[in-house]
Amino acid sequence: MAEDYKRVWTACLDVIKDTLGPENRKAYDTWFLPIVPIQLDGNTLIVQVPSPFFYEWLEEHYVDLLKRVIRMQLGPGAMLKYSIVMDQTIPSEPLRTTLPSSHNRRTTENPLADLPVNINKDNVREIPNPFVIPGMQKQRIPSQLSPNYTLENFVEGDCNRLARSAGYAVAERPGTTSFNPLLLHSNVGLGKTHLANAIGMKTKELNPDKKVLYVTSEQFMQQYAEAGRAGTTNDFIHFYELIDVLIVDDIQFWAGKAQKTQEAFFHIFNHLHQRNCQIIITSDKAPSDLQGLEPRLLSRLKWGLNADLQAPDVDTRKAILRQKLQNDGIDMADDIIEYIAYNINTNVRELEGALISLIAQSSLNRKQITLDLTKQMIDKYIQSSTREITIEYIQKVVCDSLNLPVDSIQQTSRKREIVQARQLSMYFAKKITKSSLAAIGMQCGNKDHATVLHACKTIENLRQTDRHIRSLVDELEKKLAE
């Protein structure tokens, strides 16, 4: 009967479900429901599994159970063959394998005896076995978390309430809330790194057996590049696939570059997500402004919760200052705290910076911290720290050095030097300011973000290939830094 394979597999599933019992319901849902029966060939049942990893996991953990149920249904000589859906995104190896590709593997015999396996004849590819590193499952992986950044010392305010409580929920039940991935985004200095780290710390406290790992996107990219050079890309990927809670800080760093890294991460992301592992990501741009990130990765980032951190209001700023002072065991009069909190309103990093400068000043000069001293100090601090380079300023510096009137940037002219002035302005605006590509485009002749991106690439390329442009860019860079 044509539908026999389905009937056989359904009967197998019933036994498996029964054997695993309700306490293992999750394992049943994760590892058995996704299996699709595709053919019955004599006493051999062929099933399709979603990935090589999936297959290996089954072999490692459930081979006896599978052997038993298959034989119950199809007799003592029964066999199971797998057809594995290959993910096209596995980085570094060109994969020409079509989906699904089947291979003949006798799993009902000695399950791990003849790994690695060839998937098909034309494109011999090893299935990397994540369990080859002995003891890896039990090995403790240093989390790279900083004990200084905790949820306890992350001051709550309206600006961060949603992100903070989502973070707490994630730490309590990593991977099983709908906040997966949890994406934290904000402008710089508003607490993303602190909060992401704090969630990791709390997760470890509440779930000591979970493997938590914090990495910056830059570290991840470097490790991936090194693994590529050393020929250990598979180990790299398998290492990350063993993590239960993965925190990647500052993912915007990959935008417009690191395509291979993004592919590798995409693959790891899918794998972890499928296994209900928690992924926490931070970015200094909202997903809608993360141009240059792989679209399919971007779409994954939108699956879970997207929480932003706003600049704190004055009461939260005061609370943060008090908390830092208490931490350092320093007493400070309320009017001084208020003065700082009212006057530094950009971000928490600046707030901390001002406080540290004030404390340093007073102890170096052996002066008491008075309101007067605070005023002098803070006013100076504001002047030096808020000098921000604006897009208009960049346009002025660029046009001056090219002997063009500033407003030529706004003209629709396609004259070569005007186009170049526009492109240079866009390039530096992207490099120096925090403005989004869309905002830069709008201020540079009402162009769209794609034009800005193109301009940045053009200048970058010319810089590599054209001596004249290189020295112009260097000179402008110096002027802008003055």
| Min separation Cβ 309 and ligand ADP, Å | 7
For ligand ADP, give the closer residue by CB, 47 or 281.
281
Structural contact between residues 166 and 305, judged by C-beta atoms closer than 8 angstroms: yes
Cα distance between residue 373 and residue 229, in whole Å = 55
Q: Residue of minimal CB distance from Mg ion?
A: 193
Cα distance between residue 389 and residue 396, in whole Å = 11
For residue 451, the partner it binds in Mg ion, ligand ADP, none, with Cβ less than 5 to 8 A by kind, is none
Cα dihedral: 13, 19, 21, 25 (round 10):
-40
For residue 213, the partner it binds in ligand ADP, Mg ion, none, with Cβ less than 5 to 8 A by kind, is none
| Min separation Cβ 191 and Mg ion, Å | 8
For Mg ion, give the closer residue by CB, 192 or 202.
192
For ligand ADP, give the closer residue by CB, 316 or 451.
316
For residue 238, the partner it binds in ligand ADP, Mg ion, none, with Cβ less than 5 to 8 A by kind, is none
For residue 35, the partner it binds in Mg ion, ligand ADP, none, with Cβ less than 5 to 8 A by kind, is none
For ligand ADP, give the closer residue by CB, 241 or 352.
352
| Min separation Cβ 320 and ligand ADP, Å | 5
Q: Would you tell me how many other CB atoms lie within 10 Å of the CB of residue 298?
A: 17
Q: Residue of minimal CB distance from ligand ADP?
A: 191
Total of residues contacting Mg ion (CB under 5 A): 2
Task: Kindly give the interhelix angle for 467-481 and 416-432, rounded to the nearest 10 degrees.
Answer: 50
For residue 265, the partner it binds in Mg ion, ligand ADP, none, with Cβ less than 5 to 8 A by kind, is none
Ranges within 424-463 binding Mg ion (CB under 5 A): none
For Mg ion, give the closer residue by CB, 184 or 472.
184
Question: How many helices (H) and strands (E) would you count in the chain?
Answer: 18, 9
For residue 269, the partner it binds in Mg ion, ligand ADP, none, with Cβ less than 5 to 8 A by kind, is none
Cα distance between residue 381 and residue 31, in whole Å = 58
160 lies in the binding site for Mg ion (CB under 5 A): no
How many Cα atoms within 13 Å fall on the side-chain side of residue 78? Answer: 19
For residue 37, the partner it binds in ligand ADP, Mg ion, none, with Cβ less than 5 to 8 A by kind, is none
For ligand ADP, give the closer residue by CB, 156 or 338.
156
| Min separation Cβ 469 and ligand ADP, Å | 33
Cα distance between residue 424 and residue 433, in whole Å = 13
| Min separation Cβ 98 and Mg ion, Å | 42
For residue 183, the partner it binds in Mg ion, ligand ADP, none, with Cβ less than 5 to 8 A by kind, is none
For Mg ion, give the closer residue by CB, 193 or 261.
193
Give the chain's end-to-end CA distance (angstroms, integer): 82
| Min separation Cβ 317 and ligand ADP, Å | 10
| Min separation Cβ 359 and ligand ADP, Å | 15
Ranges within 193-232 binding Mg ion (CB under 5 A): 193
Picking from 91, 85, 10, the residue whose alpha carbon sits closest to that of residue 54 is 85
Ranges within 362-391 binding Mg ion (CB under 5 A): none
For ligand ADP, give the closer residue by CB, 27 or 188.
188
Interface contacts to ligand ADP, rule CB under 6 A: 149, 153-155, 160, 186, 188-194, 320, 323, 348-349, 352
For ligand ADP, give the closer residue by CB, 225 or 319.
319
Q: Which tokens hold the place of 379?
A: 């006013």
DSSP, collapsed to helix, strand or coil, labels residue 55 as helix
Cα distance between residue 368 and residue 377, in whole Å = 13
| Min separation Cβ 340 and Mg ion, Å | 22
For residue 160, the partner it binds in ligand ADP, Mg ion, none, with Cβ less than 5 to 8 A by kind, is ligand ADP
| Min separation Cβ 348 and Mg ion, Å | 11
Cα distance between residue 198 and residue 304, in whole Å = 19
DSSP letters, 362-418, are: HHHTT----HHHHHHHHHHHHHHH-----HHHHHHHHHHHTT--GGGGGS----HHH
Separation in Å, CA 259 to CA 229, 265, 266, 293, 306 = 16, 10, 10, 8, 23
Cα dihedral: 347, 351, 353, 355 (round 10):
180
For ligand ADP, give the closer residue by CB, 188 or 402.
188
Ranges within 171-200 binding Mg ion (CB under 5 A): 192-193
| Min separation Cβ 149 and ligand ADP, Å | 6
For ligand ADP, give the closer residue by CB, 198 or 444.
198
SS3 content of the chain, % helix, strand, coil (to 5): 55, 10, 35
Q: Which residues contact 466 (CB under 8 A, 6 or more apart)?
A: none
Q: What is the DSSP letter of 133?
A: S
Structural contact between residues 255 and 456, judged by C-beta atoms closer than 8 angstroms: no
| Min separation Cβ 213 and ligand ADP, Å | 18
Contact set with Mg ion (CB under 5 A): 192-193
